Amino acid sequence: MWTEKSELGRQGSSGMISRRTFVRSGLAAASLGWLRAHGIAGPRGGLPAGQEFRALVGSRPLAEVARGGVLINVGGLPFLQGYVGESFDDQTIPFHVPENNFPGDSPPAPTETIDVAIVGGGISGLLMAYLLRRHRPVVFDYLPRFGGTSMGETWRGTAYSLGGAYFINPDPGSELEALYEELELGRACRLAAGEDPVELNGVIRDDFWNVENLPRDEQAAFTAYLDAVSHFANDAYPDIPLDPSADNGWILDLDRISFRQDVENRVGGPLPARLASAIQGYFASSFGAGWDEISAAGGWNFVAAEEYGRWVMPGGNAFVANRLWELLTRSPDPLGGSDTATRLLPGCKVVDVRKSPQADWQVTWQDRQGELRSLLARRVVMCCPKHVAKHVLHNLDTIDDAKRLAMDHVHTAAYLCVNVLVDGAVGHDFYDLFLLNTGLLPMSSQEFAQHPPIIDVINAQFSAVGRPANSVLTLYWPLPWSHARRSFLTGDDWTAYANLAAPQIHRVLEVLGIAAGRVRQVRMGRWGHAMPISEPGFIADGWPEQLRRPIEDRVFFVHQDNWVLPAFETCMLEALHFAPQVAAGLP
């Protein structure tokens, strides 16, 4: 198994260099020489070279739990005050309005020209940077760490996720399998196969989907549903992104109706309450919306894929983001310098992208000092959500009104990710424990808003490297109602959600036989627009074509919301598809 021994901060087989080695060897000076030789006035992040390098070191997607912070007793549990993940306060919420109203109505003059600028440093942006690495792309992200919703943390040797948790076992011979091999992901993963355990009425059950154990009046509906799962997994899997060379008419037909409609058509009527509740809980957790709000195409794409098994990495998908970050930061420049710290720019918010008179595109960002700076790029790749892109692209209504209209049709859902740091082992070898509670979860957005339940418990020890003495429980908390993000972006929302979380955490601990006194810290992560909602008809109506279409073959769009499918694979496949197009015509 491949372990995470390479860290930016030690010299090893990875070829990475520590900050001390960097400074003492003179590479810092060589970097500045490289910058001057290439017409770059200085570090793009607005800080002196040494501080730029420290900012790069601190931008690792999978980072040690930061020391310090205030712990507050909430319901008998030690909560870290404030959110991780999106940690901005309610006075500085980014990208809800355009931020490109410049003095004199003009952005600062560009100081350099580059081949590729990438806006957004999540999985999509990091993979695009890796695929286009020979063109030395500059990658911007407004957060101080890369990874987006695929960030993670490590605590006492246990890595855990702040967002994305897994991805599907790739098809043999597929381009995804080849990419995973290239990134050496198979050395670190553990395959989660078969059915996950279900908590029902305080008892962990491994037989929830065993039809023979069900009441007779539920058996037929469960059997018909499981037959449909098998059909889509083995006979008619709805591939998304769509294969342009295939006959996709049947997928578009599925997309025009909701998952609930399709299931009830196949089962022959309404489902038993327990089965409907289980499906509803899965959709709330996986899509941020109910099963009657998600298209049948998107729904079956997720549900059937689970049958292939899941790759679970230490730290979830943060492991992959961290791997890409390491590959992008490890190699010194062959000319003798290293410009990595000026090409990976965490904490630098792009506020404007516009066409320049020189036929390139001008990218303007706010550096870490709050100063506005600009460069020209021959290609720009928008690896950010569409609710960001539509505010950043200058005058989009005029230059591409169809694209702006498509962006307005992308709706997103919010969720919280609660990590419970526990002394000692969990004592159960499961990956994901599905919380069904009494068997009746909320069946409408209004009910979720009134009593929002935590749905999933991920056991970080399942994929841990070695045998760490401690563990982390990652609790996924969907908020599938339209105004949910407003409930945790303003006022004293943290306290309200901590009070809602505490009794649910106690219940999970009791189910797992873990004493509350073993909890060392509870950390709540917040993501306001994390999950694009796969609404019925979105693909069939052609919106992805407008979202994906480049502007003048100069500005490209690579993100999971191209297909409104909140999946790791969507990010990967879109990057693989567009990288050759971005590179076309570049020196």
Say which residue, 47 or 477, is predicted with more confidence.
Answer: 477
> Has residue 545 got a pLDDT over 60?
yes
> Has residue 32 got a pLDDT over 60?
no
Q: For residues 321 and 147, is the Cβ–Cβ distance under 8 A?
A: yes
Lowest pLDDT segment from 393-407, 459-473, 493-507: 459-473
Q: For residues 353 and 392, is the Cβ–Cβ distance under 8 A?
A: yes
Q: For residues 427 and 512, is the Cβ–Cβ distance under 8 A?
A: yes
Structure tokens at 218: 């539920």
Q: For residues 80 and 524, is the Cβ–Cβ distance under 8 A?
A: yes
pLDDT-based confidence at residue 21 (cuts at 50, 70, 90): very low
Predicted confidence (pLDDT) per residue in 284-302, tens digit = 999 999 999 999 999 999 9
Rounded mean pLDDT, 176-188? 96
Rounded Cα–Cα distance for residues 177 and 183 (Å):
10
Would you call 313 exposed, middle or buried from its count of C-beta atoms within 10 A (0-12, 13-18, 19+)? buried
CA distances for 460 relative to 102, 373, 455, angstroms: 46, 41, 16
Q: DSSP string of 136-190?
A: --EEEESSSSSBGGG-EEEETTEEEESS--EEEPPPTT-HHHHHHHHTTGGGT-E
The per-residue pLDDT for 491 is: 62
pLDDT-based confidence at residue 86 (cuts at 50, 70, 90): confident
Question: Is 3.90.660 the CATH classification of the domain at 70-99+412-532?
Answer: yes
Predicted confidence (pLDDT) per residue in 234-255, tens digit = 999 999 999 999 999 999 999 9
> In whole numbers, what is the pLDDT of the chain averaged over residues?
89
Residue 255 amino acid letter: D
- Give residue for tokens 């994390």: 530
Structure tokens at 428: 């159960």
281-303 CB burial, b ≥16 within 10 A, e <16: bbbbbbbbbbbbbbbbbbbbbbb
Residue 11 amino acid letter: Q
CA nearest neighbour of 462 among 196, 190, 154: 190
Rounded Cα–Cα distance for residues 554 and 355 (Å):
10
Question: pTM of the predicted model, to two decimals?
Answer: 0.91
CA nearest neighbour of 160 among 169, 168, 150, 170: 150
The per-residue pLDDT for 264 is: 98
Rounded Cα–Cα distance for residues 167 and 189 (Å):
10
334 Cβ contact partners less than 8 Å away, ≥ 6 residues apart: none
Lowest pLDDT segment from 188-202, 328-342, 412-426: 328-342
Would you give the distance in Å from CA 560 to the centre of its chain?
Answer: 9
The per-residue pLDDT for 87 is: 73
Q: For residues 98 and 548, is the Cβ–Cβ distance under 8 A?
A: no
> Has residue 307 got a pLDDT over 60?
yes
The per-residue pLDDT for 53 is: 80
Would you give the distance in Å from CA 15 to the centre of its chain?
Answer: 28
Residue 105 amino acid letter: D
Would you call 103 exposed, middle or buried from its count of C-beta atoms within 10 A (0-12, 13-18, 19+)? exposed
Largest Cα–Cα separation, the chain:
78
Q: For residues 341 and 53, is the Cβ–Cβ distance under 8 A?
A: yes
Rounded mean pLDDT, 548-565? 97
The per-residue pLDDT for 23 is: 37
pLDDT-based confidence at residue 563 (cuts at 50, 70, 90): very high
Q: How many CB atoms lie within 10 A of CB 430?
A: 18
> Has residue 79 got a pLDDT over 90?
yes
CA nearest neighbour of 420 among 236, 57, 33, 160: 160
CA distances for 23 relative to 18, 37, 334, 336, 337, angstroms: 9, 20, 18, 14, 12
Give 485's DSSP letter: H
The per-residue pLDDT for 448 is: 96
Predicted confidence (pLDDT) per residue in 110-144, tens digit = 999 999 999 999 999 999 999 999 999 999 999 99
The per-residue pLDDT for 495 is: 93
Q: For residues 31 and 44, is the Cβ–Cβ distance under 8 A?
A: no
Question: Is 2.60.40.10 the CATH classification of the domain at 120-142+347-410+538-587?
Answer: no
The per-residue pLDDT for 38 is: 43
pLDDT-based confidence at residue 488 (cuts at 50, 70, 90): confident
Share of the chain above pLDDT 70, in %: 89
Rounded Cα–Cα distance for residues 44 and 47 (Å):
8
Lowest pLDDT segment from 84-98, 146-160, 327-341: 327-341
The per-residue pLDDT for 42 is: 55
CA distances for 468 relative to 63, 417, 517, angstroms: 17, 22, 19
Share of the chain above pLDDT 90, in %: 78
Lowest pLDDT segment from 15-24, 32-41, 494-503: 15-24
pLDDT-based confidence at residue 90 (cuts at 50, 70, 90): low
Rounded mean pLDDT, 500-504? 98
Say which residue, 36 or 546, is predicted with more confidence.
Answer: 546
Instruction: Give the pairing type, strands 198-200 and 432-437.
Output: parallel
> Has residue 8 got a pLDDT over 80?
no
Q: For residues 161 and 458, is the Cβ–Cβ distance under 8 A?
A: yes
Per domain, the residue ranges of the chain are 1-67+149-191+313-340, 70-99+412-532, 120-142+347-410+538-587, 209-308
Rounded Cα–Cα distance for residues 287 and 579 (Å):
27
